[in-house]
Amino acid sequence: MNAVVPHMSLDPGWLILSLTFPSLGLLLLCTGIGRRYALACLPWAPLPALAAALLAPPDTTLALPDLFAGVMFRLDGTARAFLLPAALLWTLAGWYAATAGGLRRGPVFAGFWLLALSGNLGLILAGDLYVFYIGFALMTFAAYGLVVHEGTGEALRAGRWYLAMMFAGELCLFTAVALVAVAVGGGMLAFTAVGLAPGRELIWALFAFGFALKLGLAGLHAWLPLAHPVAPVPASAVLSGVMIKAGILGWWRVTSPHGALVSDWGPWLMALGLITVFYGVLSGLNNRDPKTVLAWSSVSQMGLIALLAGLALAEPGTAALAWMGITWFVMHHALAKGALFLGTGLFQGSNDSQRRWLLLLLCVPALSLAGVPYTSGWIAKAALDLSLTDSGYGPWLSAMLTASIAGTTLLMAHYLQSLWRTPRPNAPSPGAPWLPWGLAMLCLASLPWTGWAPEYIPPIEPSPVMLAQDLWPVALGLALFFALFAGRSRKFRWPGWRVARAFEIRASAVWVGLSRLEQRMHRWATVGGLFMVLAAILLSAVWLGV
C-alpha cells in the first residue's frame, strides 16, 4: 500500500529544524519580550528551511510512523523546487516587515505570518497527502489574518471573499482527501494512492477545483485581485509570490505519478490556463492601483503555469520539459513578484528623487516578468516554448505564447505608469527596508547567470535568431502601450464582471418566514403534535424493520 515508503533517511535534522523554527517563533510570541520584538522574529523563522533547500542531501526524509496513520515529511526534487523560492521570499519579505515600520499591531501580524509560514513549509515538505492537506488549510486560513490586517472596509470585504471561496475549496479538498483515505483504508495516504481509488475521476475533479481556486484560474479568481492588494506589502509579496503556488504543487503531486490515467484532464487545464493568461492581462489593464495590477498579473502568470501543467498531462512525453518550465516559473515568478511588491511598498513611502531611481530599477523585474531576453522570465518562457514545440500542438499555441509576452509587457508598462501616478505620502515612512528589496532584485537578476541555485542554471544556449524572435513581442507590447494607454486612462468594460457582489446575508422574506416557523415550533401545542408525529414515525420505522 505504501508504495513510496523510502529508506529511513540520513539526516532528518534539516526537516525538523525547518518545520519547528516557525513554531518556536510562535512560542516566543507568548512571552512579553517576544511580543515587543514580534516583527523581528519574522526574517529568522524560514532560515533553516532556506538552508535545507540549498544544502540538505537529496530525498531527506522524516518519517513519524506513530503519529496518526503515519506522517511523513520529505524533501524530494519536487519539494526542493518549491522550497527554495518559498523560503527565500518568506525570509526577504519577513525582513522587509521587520524593518519597514508602520505595521500596526505587530504581534497579531507576526502570529498570522508564522502560522501561514508553518503551513506553507509543511505543505511543501509534506511526504503524504494528509500532511499536505493540513498544511494547505493552515496556510490558507492563517493568511486570512494577513489579508484583513489593515482592518479597512475594503480589506474586510476582500477578506469575506477570500474566506468564502477558500472555504469552498477547502471543503472540496476535504472530501477528496477523505475519499482517498477511504480507498486506502488505513495507513499512510501516499500521493500515489489517488490513482488507486475507485471513483478517481471525481477525486481529481475535487482536487482540480480546490487547487484552481488557490491558483485563481479564470472563473475562480474573484478573490485574488481583491485579497492580494489589500494586505500589507510584505504579506502581499508572499501571498502572490509563494502561497498562490501551493495550488500547482498540489496538482502536480496528485497527478504526476499517474501519467496516462489523467491525460484527459490535460487539454481542459491548458484551455483554462490560456483563458486565464489573457483574462488576467485585460482585467489588470482595467485597474489603476499598482498592487491590484500586480495581483492580476499573478492571475495571468498562474495561467501560464496551468498551461504547463496541462501540457505535462496531455503529452506525457513532454512532462520532464514541462516540469523544468514549472520549476523555472515558480522560482522566477516568486522573486519577480516579491521584488515588485516590495518595490511598490518602498515607492509609496519615498520622496521624488528616490522614486525616479526606484521606477528605473523596477523595470528589471517588470521586464523579467514580461520575458525580455537575458532575464529569468525569458528562460522560463523558453522552456515553455520548447515543450510546446515538442508536443506537436502546432504553431498556434506558440503564437498564443508570443501574444502573452506582448500582453504581459503591456500590463507591466501599465503597472509602472500606475505606480508613477500614486500620490506622494504626507509623511516619510518610518523605515526604509532597501536591503531585502535589493537582495530580491539581486537574486532575480543573477538567476540566469550564476550557479547559486544549482537547478536553475540556464538550459538553453541563446542564439541571435532566438534573441530577435523573442524581442519583438516585447517591442509590440511596448508599442501597444504607448499607442493606447500612455498618458490616458482607458478602461475595458467587461459585461457583468461584478455579478456576484451581493454576498451579504440580508434579511429576506425567506429568513423572516423561517424565523416565524421556528417561533411556531416553540409553542407547546405544536411541540405536542411534533412529539406525537415523531413517536409515530419511530414506531413505524421500528415496526417496518421487523
**Minimum CB–partner distance for residue 327 and other proteins (Å):** 28
Our finding on whether 511 is near other proteins (CB under 8 A) is yes
Our finding on whether 30 is near other proteins (CB under 8 A) is no
- Cβ within 8 Å of residue 459, ≥6 positions away: 324, 379, 383
CA proximity to 89, closest of 60, 124, 58: 124
Our finding on whether 158 is near other proteins (CB under 8 A) is no
Q: Cα–Cα distance between 203 and 250 in angstroms, integer?
A: 13
CA proximity to 44, closest of 70, 10, 20: 20
Residue carrying C-alpha cell 498556434: 396
Q: Residues 80, 149, 221, 333: which binds other proteins (CB under 8 A)?
A: 149
Q: Which is closer to other proteins, CB of 200 or CB of 414?
A: 200
Our finding on whether 138 is near other proteins (CB under 8 A) is yes
**Minimum CB–partner distance for residue 538 and other proteins (Å):** 6
Percentage helix, strand, coil for the chain under 3-state DSSP, each rounded to 5: 75, 0, 25
Instruction: Quickly count: other Cβ atoms within 10 Å of residue 527's Cβ.
Output: 11
Q: Cα–Cα distance between 454 and 445 in angstroms, integer?
A: 15
Per the CB < 8 A criterion, the answer to whether 447 and 380 are in contact is no
Torsion of CA 535, 541, 543, 546, to 10 degrees: -150
14: left (phi over 0), alpha (psi -120 to 50) or beta: alpha
Our finding on whether 10 is near other proteins (CB under 8 A) is no
**Minimum CB–partner distance for residue 235 and other proteins (Å):** 14
Three-class SS of residue 63? strand
270: left (phi over 0), alpha (psi -120 to 50) or beta: alpha
Q: Cα–Cα distance between 228 and 86 in angstroms, integer?
A: 17
Q: Which is closer to other proteins, CB of 68 or CB of 482?
A: 68
CA angle 405, 328, 314 (to 5 degrees): 80
Our finding on whether 178 is near other proteins (CB under 8 A) is yes
Q: Which is closer to other proteins, CB of 70 or CB of 241?
A: 70
- Cβ within 8 Å of residue 265, ≥6 positions away: 204, 208, 255, 310, 313
Is the Cα torsion angle 6, 9, 14, 16 positive or negative in sign?
positive
Q: Cα–Cα distance between 387 and 390 in angstroms, integer?
A: 5
Our finding on whether 171 is near other proteins (CB under 8 A) is yes
Instruction: Quickly count: other Cβ atoms within 10 Å of residue 392's Cβ.
Output: 10
Give the range of 5-13, 143-151, 293-301, 332-340 binding other proteins by CB under 8 A: 143-151
Our finding on whether 148 is near other proteins (CB under 8 A) is yes
Our finding on whether 200 is near other proteins (CB under 8 A) is no
Our finding on whether 258 is near other proteins (CB under 8 A) is no
Q: Residues 167, 209, 278, 347: which binds other proteins (CB under 8 A)?
A: 167
**Minimum CB–partner distance for residue 145 and other proteins (Å):** 7
Q: Which is closer to other proteins, CB of 243 or CB of 370?
A: 243
Q: Residues 36, 104, 356, 501: which binds other proteins (CB under 8 A)?
A: 104
**Minimum CB–partner distance for residue 180 and other proteins (Å):** 10
DSSP letter at 223? Answer: T
Q: Cα–Cα distance between 115 and 121 in angstroms, integer?
A: 10
Per the CB < 8 A criterion, the answer to whether 477 and 405 are in contact is yes
Q: Which is closer to other proteins, CB of 492 or CB of 524?
A: 524
Q: 54-93: which residues touch other proteins (CB under 8 A)?
A: 67-68
Q: Residues 27, 182, 457, 475: which binds other proteins (CB under 8 A)?
A: 182
Q: Cα–Cα distance between 12 and 57 in angstroms, integer?
A: 10
Our finding on whether 420 is near other proteins (CB under 8 A) is no
DSSP letter at 458? Answer: -
Q: Residues 33, 465, 500, 544: which binds other proteins (CB under 8 A)?
A: 544
Bridge partners of 63, per DSSP, are 72
Q: Which is closer to other proteins, CB of 253 or CB of 337?
A: 253
Give the range of 160-168, 288-296, 377-385, 487-495 binding other proteins by CB under 8 A: 160-168
Our finding on whether 545 is near other proteins (CB under 8 A) is yes
User: How many residues form the binding site for other proteins (CB under 8 A)?
Assistant: 55
Give the range of 147-155, 286-294, 349-357, 480-488 binding other proteins by CB under 8 A: 147-155
Bridge partners of 60, per DSSP, are 75
Q: Which is closer to other proteins, CB of 486 or CB of 530?
A: 530
Q: Residues 141, 191, 204, 378: which binds other proteins (CB under 8 A)?
A: 141
Our finding on whether 499 is near other proteins (CB under 8 A) is no
The half-sphere exposure of 479 on its side-chain side, counting CA atoms within 13 A, is 7
Our finding on whether 522 is near other proteins (CB under 8 A) is yes
CA proximity to 512, closest of 503, 520, 502: 520
Give the range of 154-162, 246-254, 392-400, 447-455 binding other proteins by CB under 8 A: 154-162
Our finding on whether 207 is near other proteins (CB under 8 A) is no
Give the range of 299-307, 337-345, 436-444, 535-543 binding other proteins by CB under 8 A: 535-543
**Minimum CB–partner distance for residue 213 and other proteins (Å):** 15
Q: Which is closer to other proteins, CB of 132 or CB of 415?
A: 132
Q: Catalog residues that contact other proteins under the rule CB under 8 A.
A: 67-68, 104-105, 108, 133-134, 137-138, 141, 145, 148-152, 156, 159-160, 163, 167, 170-171, 174-175, 178-179, 181-182, 505, 511, 514-515, 518, 521-525, 527-528, 530-531, 534-535, 537-546
